[in-house]
């Protein structure tokens, strides 16, 4: 039996119906609210209890309890208790709640300063029970390091508020039946100034004097920040976020500071920027110091009008750096020549710059006086070719008195291959060799000076010599081939290619696609267009077809254990070599495995399981190789180790399952035989509804359709008679205390052993309990409550144990020790207690033989309770034993339990009319 409410929780003022289920017929029952009785009914009677309130009604036919216009006082436990014919009870807790109302939010202050202030928002509401949460806009406020929910969520506490806490806040109040939101509270949070930034327009590293500069400042602040400006630490009378510098001069350079302040937060922030103002350069000139004479020191000075940061010198528009002939000093404003030379002639300029300008001077033309000049070596349009004659001529301007020649920095003398003519101005080579390569100079001099020419780099032309071809001797049809040709030659040779005397290309590299007709003689001709010589070299190319379509096949063979087996490697193209691999490792012949002469066939003389694996062949020639896809060899074997699993003994009427297994590849097929008759196929055989004549051997045949081998295994089954039922039968229906009781185990079927269990533990005889020699009966000499328990008998055969249903022994006794307990409540409550199994049924009789209650407890009427005699009648419904006790109410505050005398004789005279009706 259980209870269900039409709604739970339920709002105040609503109606609710509590409906019981699975009640059956309740002859004697009552509804309780807490300890108070609402309604009570019994055969021929129906009464309202003292706990009933207006609006509470009972449908006596369905036992439904309806409560109209519920209030908070209707919350609590409702109990339906059935007393007869079966004693049972069901309980439900009804929760009556008030809807949420009067939701109001308030705050201690709304104008706050970031990081300084703390705020507390408080929410109040009516209703029961209540859950509180807070919203900022549409988002739920979550707790964190600064945010706390206090007083069960009624208060939102924000410590050290930040600008991001600003917004509209509401509190949301809910319970199980309703929810509502409060009024809106807006927090205004002052902050800043922060993120202060200062910009200058235009933004430059330095400013040219006369430019206008605009400085501006911004900051994140609420309320908006006010600004003022400072120059080199001194406050300027310039309010606002902008400051303009006009008609700037160098004297206005310095550190400018923007200061932002918030009048509410009383916080300040400052940002600094250094402004540099520079005058531009207005004039640059080059002035000589002295007269430029060859071999003498000489200075040029750079004169600049305006501030200068950097000076550089140029000769003939190329920048100069200090070396062993010149140096700079006075901040690069002076260029100093150690000793003037004719090579110092040229146009000299200086370039001056600062942060805002740069300027280059007019050119100063330096002419070194009295030198020998324009000394040069020339070859007179000749080409220096090996083994031919060659002439170099020295020319110079000025008064040349002497000429001599230098090779690689060493003076040159005549020998059997070289001589000088025309006053040493001509150098003659009779026959050029490679040893004549080098840097040749001539020196022209007079009494005042000498001058050395620029070097003439003599490189003798020769070749081509040692012409060679590099490239493959074997090519693959359908692919490209590349040949490279090289020769020792100066200048580098030009190359031409010929195939069987037909020109096919030019250049040092020849790449060609190979067709079946491309085999033959490839010739490279190297040619030097200066020397007019050529050289040929050839290479004979042999063609092969690439290896393709490499496969391993077994020619429809099946690999069977202990039998021979052959794998064949096939391929297209010119195959020169074949190698075999197993599981990626190269194979070599060994016992039981051989290769054919060309290795195209791999033979196994007698297969075993170690030969399982992935087999590949690799076919190759000089230009290609290819590996076949793997061929998986899985040796077929078996069946081996054929076994049958299943029971060897079973009961009649039961099912048995036999399972057959064998080690085999491929998996074996299975056939079952009983007494030489085919009874089934497959690895599992089920024999149902066994009878005694189903005993005997069950045989499984495992067959491998590849190896053609079959193997047998058997299992002998013995079928015995089954145990059908096991029951525990008592010799009396009501086990009364102090009386004997015999329990008999009734077994239908053949068994080998019987044993007894009490509360699932082994049960054995004692001085109070005896078990028969065949264990079929248990006899209790005199029942006691200590004998209560669950008793089962277990019958066993060779197959399994069979358990009876439990026999639950509850020794019947009582009622005993009846007593009345007075509870000093308003109104007072009397409770009657008696020891009894099963529990006693109670009946209350007032002294005038009026029945006033049919429960263990009754509430006394407020009026006329003093001096009244109440009698409790307790009856055991199985033993029909009835006992009585009485109590006279003398003190309304009595709180002690009184054990009244049991006066059977006197009470029987008084109670006979009432008891006859009740009993």
- Is the domain 192-278 a CATH 2.60.40.10 member? yes
* Of residues 579, 578, 608, 609, the one with CA closest to residue 592: 608
State the pLDDT confidence band at 228, using cuts at 50, 70 and 90. very high
Counting every residue written for the chain, the total comes to: 919
* Of residues 741, 733, 815, the one with CA closest to residue 782: 741
pLDDT at 867: 67
Assign 124 to helix, strand or coil.
Answer: strand
Higher pLDDT, 198 or 884: 198
pLDDT at 398: 72
What Cα–Cα distance (Å) separates residue 706 from each residue in 493, 669, 682, 683, 701? Answer: 74, 11, 17, 18, 15
Mean local confidence (pLDDT), 845-850: 78
Higher pLDDT, 907 or 400: 400
Assign 800 to helix, strand or coil.
Answer: coil
State the pLDDT confidence band at 606, using cuts at 50, 70 and 90. very high
Burial (CB count within 10 angstroms: exposed 0-12, middle 13-18, buried 19+), residue 140: exposed
pLDDT at 84: 87
What percent of the chain stands above pLDDT 90? 77
- Which residue is listed with tokens 């290609």? 624
pLDDT at 447: 60
- Is the domain 723-809 a CATH 3.10.560.10 member? no
Q: Return d(Cα 251, Cα 705) in angstroms, integer.
A: 112
Letter string b/e over residues 603-624, b meaning 16 or more CB atoms within 10 A of that residue's CB: ebeebeeebbbebbbbbbbebb
Higher pLDDT, 370 or 705: 705
Structural Rg of the chain based on CA atoms: 63
pLDDT at 911: 34
Assign 692 to helix, strand or coil.
Answer: helix
Taking the CA atoms of 576, 580, 586 and 590 in sequence, report the sign of the dihedral they define. Answer: negative
pLDDT at 848: 66
Min mean pLDDT across 113-122, 230-239, 610-619, 869-878 is at 869-878
pLDDT at 399: 67
Using the predicted structure, report yes or no on whether residue 654 has a pLDDT greater than 80: yes
pTM: 0.42
Query: What CATH fold (topology level) applies to the domain 373-458?
Result: Immunoglobulin-like (2.60.40)
pLDDT at 822: 87
pLDDT at 861: 73
Average pLDDT of the chain to the nearest whole number = 90
For strands 390-397 and 426-429, give the pairing.
antiparallel
How do the domains of the chain map onto residue ranges?
A: 2-94, 102-189, 192-278, 283-366, 373-458, 462-544, 548-633, 637-720, 723-809
Letter string b/e over residues 828-854, b meaning 16 or more CB atoms within 10 A of that residue's CB: bbbbbbbebbebbbbbbbbeeeeebbb
Higher pLDDT, 446 or 174: 174
pLDDT at 866: 57
299 contacts 287 by C-beta, under 8 angstroms: no
- Is the domain 2-94 a CATH 2.60.40.10 member? yes
Using the predicted structure, report yes or no on whether residue 115 has a pLDDT greater than 60: yes
State the pLDDT confidence band at 730, using cuts at 50, 70 and 90. very high
Mean local confidence (pLDDT), 692-716: 94
- What are the residue ranges of helices labelled H in 538-592? none
844 contacts 868 by C-beta, under 8 angstroms: no
pLDDT at 747: 95
> Which token pair is 233?
């630490």
pLDDT at 167: 92
> Which token pair is 306?
């305006």
Q: Return d(Cα 639, Cα 665) in angstroms, integer.
A: 8
Q: Return d(Cα 469, Cα 340) in angstroms, integer.
A: 57
Q: Return d(Cα 596, Cα 582) in angstroms, integer.
A: 17
Query: What CATH fold (topology level) applies to the domain 102-189?
Result: Immunoglobulin-like (2.60.40)
- Which residue is listed with tokens 């068994």? 751
Q: Return d(Cα 720, Cα 652) in angstroms, integer.
A: 6
Using the predicted structure, report yes or no on whether residue 705 has a pLDDT greater than 90: yes
The CA-based dihedral angle spanning residues 871, 876, 877, 882, taken in that order and rounded to the nearest 10 degrees: -50
What Cα–Cα distance (Å) separates residue 643 from each residue in 332, 624, 677, 680? Answer: 109, 54, 19, 16
What percent of the chain stands above pLDDT 70? 95
Residue-wise pLDDT for 513-544, tens only, equals 999 999 999 999 999 999 999 999 999 999 99
Assign 824 to helix, strand or coil.
Answer: coil
Task: Count Cα neighbours of 889 within 13 Å in the Cβ-side half-sphere.
Answer: 24
Residue-wise pLDDT for 155-204, tens only, equals 999 999 999 999 999 999 998 889 999 999 999 999 999 999 999 999 99
Using the predicted structure, report yes or no on whether residue 240 has a pLDDT greater than 80: yes
Using the predicted structure, report yes or no on whether residue 915 has a pLDDT greater than 70: no
Residue-wise pLDDT for 23-66, tens only, equals 889 988 999 998 888 999 888 888 888 888 889 999 998 999 99
Residue-wise pLDDT for 577-592, tens only, equals 999 999 999 999 887 8
Considering the domain 283-366 in this protein, what is its CATH number? 2.60.40.10
Q: Return d(Cα 649, Cα 845) in angstroms, integer.
A: 69
Match domain 462-544 to its CATH number in 2.60.40.1180, 3.90.1150.10, 2.60.40.10, 1.10.357.10: 2.60.40.10
Query: What class is the 637-720 domain?
Result: mainly beta
Instruction: Please state whether 773 falls in left (phi above 0), alpha (psi between -120 and 50) or beta.
Output: alpha
Higher pLDDT, 916 or 365: 365
Domains 283-366 and 723-809 are alike in CATH topology = yes
> Which token pair is 46?
């129906």
Using the predicted structure, report yes or no on whether residue 865 has a pLDDT greater than 70: no
Query: What class is the 548-633 domain?
Result: mainly beta
State the pLDDT confidence band at 114, using cuts at 50, 70 and 90. very high
> Which token pair is 638?
């078996």
* Of residues 372, 377, 368, the one with CA closest to residue 398: 372
Mean local confidence (pLDDT), 885-910: 45
Residue-wise pLDDT for 416-426, tens only, equals 999 999 999 99
Min mean pLDDT across 2-6, 493-497, 649-653, 862-866 is at 862-866
Residue-wise pLDDT for 460-519, tens only, equals 999 999 999 999 999 999 999 999 999 999 999 999 999 998 999 999 999 999 999 999
Q: Return d(Cα 740, Cα 570) in angstroms, integer.
A: 98
Q: Return d(Cα 832, Cα 818) in angstroms, integer.
A: 7
Residue-wise pLDDT for 744-800, tens only, equals 999 999 999 999 999 999 998 999 999 999 999 999 999 999 999 999 999 999 999
Q: Return d(Cα 679, Cα 234) in angstroms, integer.
A: 117
Letter string b/e over residues 332-349, b meaning 16 or more CB atoms within 10 A of that residue's CB: bbbbbbeebebebbbebb
Q: Return d(Cα 535, Cα 194) in angstroms, integer.
A: 85
């Amino acid at each position: 039996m259980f209870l269900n409410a039409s709604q739970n929780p339920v709002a105040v003022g609503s109606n609710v119906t509590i409906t019981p289920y699975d009640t059956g017929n309740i002859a004697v029952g009552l509804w309780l609210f807490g300890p108070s009785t609402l309604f009570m009914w019994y055969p021929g009677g129906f009464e309202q209890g003292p706990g009933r309130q207006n609006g509470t009604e009972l449908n006596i036919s369905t036992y439904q309890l309806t409560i109209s216009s519920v209030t908070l006082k209707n919350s609590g436990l409702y109990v339906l208790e059935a007393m007869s014919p079966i004693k049972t009870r069901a309980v439900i807790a009804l929760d009556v709640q008030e809807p949420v109302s009067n939701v109001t939010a308030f705050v201690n202050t709304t104008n706050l300063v970031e990081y300084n202030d703390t705020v507390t928002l408080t929410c109040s509401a009516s209703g029961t029970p209540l859950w509180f949460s807070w919203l900022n806009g549409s988002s739920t406020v979550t707790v964190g390091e600064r945010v706390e929910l206090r007083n069960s969520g009624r208060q939102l506490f924000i410590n050290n508020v930040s600008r991001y806490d600003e917004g509209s806040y509401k509190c949301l109040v809910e319970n199980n039946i309703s929810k509502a939101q409060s009024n809106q509270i807006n927090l205004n949070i002052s902050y800043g100034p922060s993120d202060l930034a200062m910009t200058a327009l235009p933004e430059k590293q330095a400013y040219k004097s006369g430019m206008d500069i605009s400085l501006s400042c911004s900051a994140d602040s609420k309320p908006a920040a006010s600004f003022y400006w400072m120059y080199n630490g001194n406050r300027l009378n310039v309010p606002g976020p902008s400051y303009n510098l006009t008609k700037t001069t160098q004297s206005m350079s310095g550190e400018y500071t923007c200061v932002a302040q918030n009048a509410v937060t009383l916080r300040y922030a400052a940002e600094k920027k250094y402004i540099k103002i520079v005058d531009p350069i207005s004039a640059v000139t080059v002035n000589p110091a002295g007269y430029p004479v060859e071999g003498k020191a000489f200075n040029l000075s750079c004169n600049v009008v305006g501030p200068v940061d950097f000076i550089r010198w140029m000769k003939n528009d190329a920048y100069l750096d200090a070396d062993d002939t010149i140096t700079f000093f006075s901040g690069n404003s002076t260029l100093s020549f150690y000793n003037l030379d004719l090579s110092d002639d040229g146009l000299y300029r200086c370039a001056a710059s600062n942060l805002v300008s740069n300027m280059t001077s007019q050119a100063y033309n330096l002419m070194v006086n009295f030198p020998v000049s324009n000394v040069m070596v020339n070859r007179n349009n000749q080409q220096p070719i090996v083994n031919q004659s060659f002439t170099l001529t020295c020319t110079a301007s000025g008064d040349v008195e002497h000429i001599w020649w230098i090779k690689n920095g060493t003076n040159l003398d005549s020998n059997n291959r070289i001589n000088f003519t025309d006053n040493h101005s001509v150098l003659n080579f009779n026959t050029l060799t490679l040893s004549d390569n080098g840097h040749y100079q001539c020196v022209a001099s007079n009494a005042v000076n000498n001058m050395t020419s620029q070097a003439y780099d003599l490189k003798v032309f020769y070749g081509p010599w040692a012409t060679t071809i590099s490239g493959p001797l074997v090519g693959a049809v359908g692919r490209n081939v590349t040949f490279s040709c090289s020769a020792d030659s100066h200048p580098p040779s030009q190359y031409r290619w010929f195939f069987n005397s037909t020109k096919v290309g030019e250049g040092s590299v020849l790449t060609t696609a190979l067709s079946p007709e491309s085999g033959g003689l490839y010739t490279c001709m190297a040619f030097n267009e200066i020397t007019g010589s050529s050289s040929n070299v050839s290479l004979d190319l042999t063609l092969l077809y690439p290896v393709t379509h490499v496969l391993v096949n077994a020619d429809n063979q099946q690999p069977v254990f202990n039998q021979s087996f052959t794998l064949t490697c096939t391929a297209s193209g010119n195959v020169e070599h074949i190698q075999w691999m197993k599981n990626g490792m190269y194979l070599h012949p060994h016992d039981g495995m051989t290769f054919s002469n060309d290795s195209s066939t791999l033979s196994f003389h007698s297969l075993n399981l170690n030969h399982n694996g992935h087999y590949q062949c690799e076919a190759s020639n000089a230009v290609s190789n290819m590996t076949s896809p793997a061929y998986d060899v899985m040796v077929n074997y078996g069946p081996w180790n054929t076994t049958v699993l299943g029971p060897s003994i079973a009961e009649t009427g039961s099912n048995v399952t036999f399972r057959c297994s064998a080690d085999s590849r491929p998996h074996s097929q299975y056939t079952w035989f009983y007494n030489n008759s085919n009874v089934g196929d497959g690895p599992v055989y089920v024999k149902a509804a066994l009878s005694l004549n189903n005993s005997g051997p069950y045989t499984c045949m495992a067959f491998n359709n590849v190896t053609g081998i079959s193997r047998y295994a058997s299992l002998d089954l013995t079928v015995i008679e089954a145990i059908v039922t096991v029951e525990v039968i008592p010799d009396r229906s009501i086990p009364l205390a102090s009386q004997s009781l015999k329990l008999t185990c009734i077994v239908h079927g053949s068994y080998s052993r019987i044993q007894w269990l009490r509360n699932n533990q082994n049960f054995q005889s004692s001085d109070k309990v005896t078990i028969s020699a065949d264990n079929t009966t248990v006899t209790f000499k005199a029942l006691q409550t200590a004998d209560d328990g669950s008793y089962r008998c277990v019958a066993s055969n060779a197959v399994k144990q069979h358990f009876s249903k439990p026999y639950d022994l509850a020794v019947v006794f009582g009622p005993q020790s009846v007593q009345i307990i007075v509870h000093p409540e308003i109104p007072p409550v009397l409770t009657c207690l008696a020891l009894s199994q099963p529990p006693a049924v109670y009946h209350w009789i007032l002294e005038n033989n009026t029945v006033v209650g049919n429960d263990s407890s009754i509430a006394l009427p407020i009026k006329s309770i003093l001096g009244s005699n109440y009698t409790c009648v307790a009856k055991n419904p199985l033993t029909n034993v009835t006992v009585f006790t009485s109590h006279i109410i003398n003190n309304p505050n009595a709180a002690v339990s009184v054990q009244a005398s049991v006066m059977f004789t006197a009470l029987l005279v008084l109670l006979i009319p009432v008891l006859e009706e009740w009993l």
